Chains A and B, each alone.
Chain A
Amino acid sequence: MPGEPRQPRTPPARVSSGLFSLTASVGSRQFITIAVLVFFVLGLAWWLVTKAGWVTPLFLPPPEKVLARLQELAVSGKLLDDMLISIYRISLGFLISTAFALPIGILIGSYRAWEAMIEPLVDFIRYMPVVAFVPLTILWTGTGDAQKFLIIFIGTFFQQVLLVMDNVKSVPRDFINLGRTLQMPESRILARIILPSAMPGIWDSMRISLGWAWTWLVVAELVAATSGLGYRITTAQRFFQTDTIFGYLLLLGVLGLATDQAMKWGSRKLFRYLRQSR
């Protein structure tokens, strides 16, 4: 009809389409669904592969057999014993390492002269393979818990120090200048400005290094131990009990995932102020 404005026929412009475009937002429920789905699909694939008989059960036992074995170990109480002793070792080992790494990392992150004294040395030791320390640590401390703590320490401390140093270095220079213009003494600037400012980063570094600590614990337990998750894996290997090995690997994965999620949850609670709500 003449005189009537013509409606544009083009559809409204869409910038991003679908989940798999850059910067697409994924809600937390969607996120969890996707994550769970991946686990489910991999589990299903595992089950199918063993069901079809494509692999020797000794190399890859079927999931139901692994779960049955885990249940058997759980009922006998062995599973809990192994888990508790390993958790005890990693907790104490990680705490000792962190207790040293925090002050030293903060020191070398704040003072260039201390950095010159300590950083190159830490870097030097950091590149020595931790596994090579295993025979030495046994020689030094025997095969008890002290040796586990020592291996966790060697494997974790030197990494932590550098991570903490970087966290402290990323504190904005203007924050320190603010403290100076307020005539705060250096020690107060350190305690009231640098430390709280670096804290979210340090927390994240601890979360990441905790994952490495798990690896070093199991390494130590594999080589020389009379208890713990790693020890059980070694004994299982002697009797070709691959179902036990797989079961414990799954357990280690679950424990790691759980601690990681706990640390992330802690971070959200502790550093709530960082979240933008407006």
Chain B
Amino acid sequence: MNAPKLVISNLAKTFRGDRGDVVALSGVDLTLGENEFVSLVGTSGCGKSTLLSIVAGLESHDAGTVTIEGKPIGGPGLDRGVVFQSYTLLPWLTTLGNVEFALLAAGKSRKEARDIARSHLSLVGLDGFADAFPSELSGGMKQRVAIARALSYRPNMLLMDEPFGALDALTRHHMQELLARIWEQHRLTVLFVTHDVEEAVYMSDRVAVMSNRPGRIKRIIDIDLPRPRTYEMMGSLEFTKLQREVLAEIRAESIAIAALGDALA
């Protein structure tokens, strides 16, 4: 692992509600190296998205620390780009306008913002759609704009919360290939939340499997597949073996949570 970029240690989070408290995370330890791609997988409700929100600075935590390059995080920041599952494109702005919006917020001049936005749209293959409104785009296109937007202001870390979860299987594969290619060319630290095991193995340097609630990191599996990753690799024996390994870890958790222990024994 390279020099540690993001260090999460002994993190705990409890949601307090009228119907009692829910311990979402407890004793989470995870370290991401510089320019490392790490996926976070686990059953639904295990707290993986909560963990990502905490790292993004959008959610508070009760105990433990989160540091980036040694400094504890204090709220959200432009050093971390976030891609949400729900695209979050502003409907009244064009594709170009949406990317510019982030750049202007980051303090770029209008001229700079326009140029950078254009180059990032072309990075995700949407040159021809600069003037289209989000309502005119497909789900995959919307998410490409969101990725362009998150990369445009040069954060040194990308946080992605099930970014391809709402896409159909084919589009999802295209998006995985696109993101892998962009990442291999312009490395940066990525924390990637997903429930798709194949996706996690395909994209990552390491896959962190979370336990059921209260979530903690149950096991970290190194993905020693060569780069650049190709679509053909998904059929390889090594790939399948790693995928099974991750799946076995999650399956144990999901059987427990679904109370299927006896039925599937």
Contacts and interface: CB of A to CB of B under 8 A. Distances in A.
A114 to B, nearest CB: 21
B105 A182 contact: yes
A179 B86 CA distance: 15
Given A181-B56, A182-B102, A276 B86 contact: no
Interface in A189-218: 192-193, 196-197, 199
Given A172-B86, A181-B76, A183-B78, A273 B133 contact: yes
B58 A180 contact: yes
A188 B104 CA distance: 12
B166 interface: no
B135 A174 contact: no
A180 B137 CA distance: 25
Contact of A174 (B75, B76, B81, B88): B88
B84 A273 contact: no
A183 B79 CA distance: 10
Given A181-B80, A183-B77, A184-B105, A193 B90 contact: yes
Nearest to A182: B105
Contacts of B136: 276-278
B12 to A, nearest CB: 22
A175 B93 CA distance: 13
A174 B86 CA distance: 8
A276 B75 CA distance: 36
Interface string A253-278: 00000000000000000010111111
Nearest to B59: A177
Given A174-B86, A180-B58, A182-B106, A273 B91 contact: yes
Given A182-B102, A193-B90, A196-B90, A177 B84 contact: yes
A236 interface: no
B57 interface: yes
A197 B84 CA distance: 17
Interface residues of B, number: 27
Contacts of A196: 90, 92
A178 interface: yes
Contact of A177 (B82, B92, B134): B82
B135 A274 contact: yes
A175 B102 contact: no
Contacts of A193: 90
Nearest to B135: A276
Nearest to B79: A183
B81 A181 contact: yes
A188 to B, nearest CB: 8
Contact of B84 (A178, A183, A275): A178
Interface in A135-175: 172, 174-175
A187 to B, nearest CB: 13
A172 B135 CA distance: 16
Contacts of A188: 105
Contacts of A271: 92
Given A182-B106, A183-B105, A172 B88 contact: yes
Nearest to A275: B135
Given A174-B86, A193-B90, A180 B135 contact: no
Nearest to A193: B90
Contact of B78 (A175, A178, A182, A197): A182
Given A172-B86, A193-B90, A180 B133 contact: no
Contacts of B134: 273
A273 B91 CA distance: 7
A172 B78 CA distance: 21
A11 B84 CA distance: 47
A177 B58 contact: yes
Contacts of A180: 57-58, 75-76
B76 A273 contact: no
B91 A274 contact: yes
Contact of A183 (B76, B90, B101): B76
A181 B58 contact: yes
B68 to A, nearest CB: 14
Interface in B126-174: 133-138, 153
Contacts of A181: 56-58, 76-78, 80-82
Contacts of A182: 78, 101-102, 105-106, 153
Contacts of B135: 273-277
Contacts of B133: 273
Interface pairs A-B: 7 shortest CB-CB = A182-B105, A273-B133, A181-B82, A180-B76, A174-B88, A278-B136, A181-B76
Given A177-B58, A182-B106, A275-B135, 10 more contacts: A174-B86, A180-B58, A180-B76, A181-B58, A181-B78, A188-B105, A193-B90, A273-B134, A276-B135, A278-B136
